[in-house]
Amino acid sequence: MKETKVIELEEVAIRFSGDSGDGMQLTGTLFSDTTALLGNDISTFPDYPSEIRAPQGTVGGVSGFQVQFGKKQVNTPGDNANVLVAMNPAAIKANARFLEPGGTIIYDSDSFTEKNLRKANFETDDPFAECNLEDFFKIPVPISSLTQEGLKDFGLDNKSVMRSKNMFALGLVCWMFNRPLDYVEEFVKNKFRKKPVVVDSNIKVLHDGYNYGLTMQHMTPSYLVHPAEIENGTYRNINGNHATAWGLLAAAEKSGLELFLGSYPITPATDILTALSERKDLGVKTFQAEDEIAGICSAIGASFAGDLAVTTTSGPGLALKGEAIGLAVMAELPLVIVNVQRGGPSTGLPTKTEQSDLMQALYGRNGESPVVVLAASTPSDCFHYAYMSAKIALERMVPVILLTDGFLGNGSEPWKIPAMADLPSITPRVANDSEEFLAYKRDAATLAREWAFPGMAGFEHRIGGLEKNITGTVSHDPENHQVNSEIREEKVQRVVDMIPDLEICGDEDGGDVLVVSWGGTFGHTASTVRELRLAGKSVSLAHFNYIKPLPKNTKEVFSKFKKIIVCELNLGQFAAYLRNELPEFSYYQANKLKGLPFTVSELKESITKLLED
């Protein structure tokens, strides 16, 4: 037997891909969790179709999961995959453009039948030639038949047997990349503990895949990726939706309030509702409403009653919630609205990522209806910005919209779990002096009113969507409406005192090009700027998490650079906002609207062209 060929890598990107029923999301997640536990830095990108079950074997039904991991800082899932695990011909066609030249393709040779080739719209019997993949290292593995052989004595029907073939692929890839099987085994035992035969069969196939790699090591090289050097602490792998849920839980504990979530399931935000519904042990109250409007209105009612109130949604749901957000603005109640953005308009691309709800978050309500707008950058820092959204809402008596997106919500990365003692304090503005209380009497510095809820004797007051005067009495006085509208806007602007200054990643004294990005594009813009700077280019990055209000030093930062390019996954919404807020600067744009994140190569091309002009 030949000696195992071991290839040492700094970082590598693997893409698992197959039919929607092949379990690729679970396979990718288990591999990612195992890799994170070994100490590698990782970034993931689940990519799946919006159809519940597209026709089997078709390109439209392909589900993928890409993970990049390495021994150094990893900010993106990788532009292209170094290794593709393809469970059928459709996976080859769907992913050919996402492969790094000279990469490795592991494929289930049993599935490459004439029938499946035709389903994937291949014209010949050589899909690799049709997709220009001749120069790739291809490893044919009879995954389906080996799975059937391994489980022939388990008494399972063929459908149940074939559900386990993803475990064979996972075992093989774990061998190739020196990943232990302990975590996967423990997961299988816990998930299927009531079905012993399912536990045994999946673990058997997992080891079969691992042993296949060991036996066939002459054709399946082993790769070594050393752990990353990371700060000491307790870590876990977390996706953005769970990080958001945990940030809200932490804010409720820190503020001493009960957490209420009124929401309606919608892709890709539903996991926040699911995660919080499991935490009744922490006093969380979740209400799955009949529609989006009922969801937010229940949250407004909970806020009126003194809870930390939250509603979660995606773009179409945010549109439906618009009128009720205006009610929260007028009533000046604390409310957190989480919008996990997806492709639009209308139903659009439900499972794909986009950043095109910014204008809706800023202006998508009737009348002058200002709210604070934040945006998270990475899956793990969804925790921080969910926490800060709650802090701002509770301390300034204002609705806050937190923008994440499908890439952040479903993507995952290692997260250092913070100590509660290290989180900033949260002091809700609860009224405490009934003698001095007036419904809309304001703090001189922040313009925030006090929060009084039912059951507080001596603090009774009117509340609702009609304009009020300082006592809470309905007022149609035009002067009063003018003043109150200006106060509500100024109250939002004064939140700038709670947010940090904008930082420059690069040349703090200025330079040729400033790359501006916001929200979930951070990993790709940061990686791009890092690579360009290593090549000697005068390029720096200013990334925004606080959208309204903008950091107080934004103008100062922009003034230091010759050119500013705004990179976002829409047709230029943040650029338009900046032109309105800071019209003295010229803004170039790099935009993408394909339901996919930027790639580093795309951004490098746009920025390099700007440098050369």
| Contacts by residues 392-395 (CB-CB < 8 Å, ≥ 24 positions apart) | 392/495, 392/498, 393/308, 393/334, 393/335, 393/336, 394/251, 394/255, 394/257, 394/308, 394/334, 394/426, 394/427, 394/428, 394/429, 395/426, 395/427, 395/428, 395/429, 395/446, 395/448, 395/498
pLDDT over threshold 50, residue 556 = yes
DSSP 36-76: HHTT-EEEEEEE--SSSSPPTTSGGGEEEEEEEEESS---S
> How sure is the predictor about 1, in pLDDT bands with cuts at 50, 70 and 90?
very low
**Least confident window among 212-226, 415-429, 481-495:** 212-226
pTM of the model: 0.94
Please check whether residue 297 is in contact with residue 325, taking contact to mean a CB–CB distance below 8 angstroms.
no
Write down the pLDDT at residue 538.
97
For residue range 409-457, list pLDDT tens digits in order: 999 999 999 999 999 999 999 999 999 999 999 999 999 999 999 999 9
- Please list, in sequence order, all residues whose beta carbon lies within 8 angstroms of the beta carbon of residue 491, skipping any fewer than 6 positions away: 370, 396, 397, 398, 442, 446, 447, 448
Q: How far apart are CA 20 and CA 31, in angstroms?
A: 18
* N- to C-terminal Cα separation, the chain: 58
Residue 567, CA distances (Å) to 362, 422, 423 in order: 18, 33, 31
pLDDT over threshold 70, residue 584 = yes
Any bridge partners for residue 372, and if so which? 400
Write down the pLDDT at residue 220.
63
Q: Coil, helix or strand for 385?
A: helix
> How sure is the predictor about 4, in pLDDT bands with cuts at 50, 70 and 90?
low
Write down the pLDDT at residue 223.
76
Q: Residues 300, 254, 379, 185: what is their CA dihedral angle, to the nearest 10 degrees?
A: -110
pLDDT over threshold 90, residue 566 = yes
Cβ count within 10 A of residue 126: 13
Residue 205, CA distances (Å) to 26, 166, 217 in order: 15, 9, 18
Backbone region of residue 458 per phi and psi (left: phi > 0; alpha: psi in -120 to 50; beta: other values): left
Task: Domains for the chain: give ranges and CATH numbers.
Answer: 6-224 (3.40.920.10), 236-419 (3.40.50.970), 511-612 (3.40.50.920)
Please check whether residue 318 is in contact with residue 291, taking contact to mean a CB–CB distance below 8 angstroms.
no
Q: How far apart are CA 277 and CA 5, in angstroms?
A: 48
What does the block give as tokens for 71?
């021994």
Q: Coil, helix or strand for 477?
A: coil
For residue range 359-386, list pLDDT tens digits in order: 999 999 999 999 999 999 999 999 999 9
Task: Give CA 558 to chain center in angstroms.
Answer: 28
Please check whether residue 240 is in contact with residue 376, taking contact to mean a CB–CB distance below 8 angstroms.
yes
Write down the pLDDT at residue 326.
98
Q: pLDDT exceeding 90 applies to what percent of the chain? A: 90
Q: Residue 453's closest CA among 583, 280, 300, 591?
A: 300
- Please count the CA atoms within 13 angstroms of the CA of 499 that sit on its side-chain side: 28
Write down the pLDDT at residue 377.
98
Q: How far apart are CA 75 and CA 599, in angstroms?
A: 11
Q: What sign has the CA pseudo-torsion 553, 559, 565, 570?
A: positive
Residue with token string 């049993």: 110
Write down the pLDDT at residue 231.
82
pLDDT over threshold 60, residue 102 = yes
Residue 424, CA distances (Å) to 251, 255, 386, 418 in order: 9, 10, 13, 11
Q: Coil, helix or strand for 118?
A: helix
Write down the pLDDT at residue 218.
55
For residue range 279-304, list pLDDT tens digits in order: 999 999 999 999 999 999 999 999 99
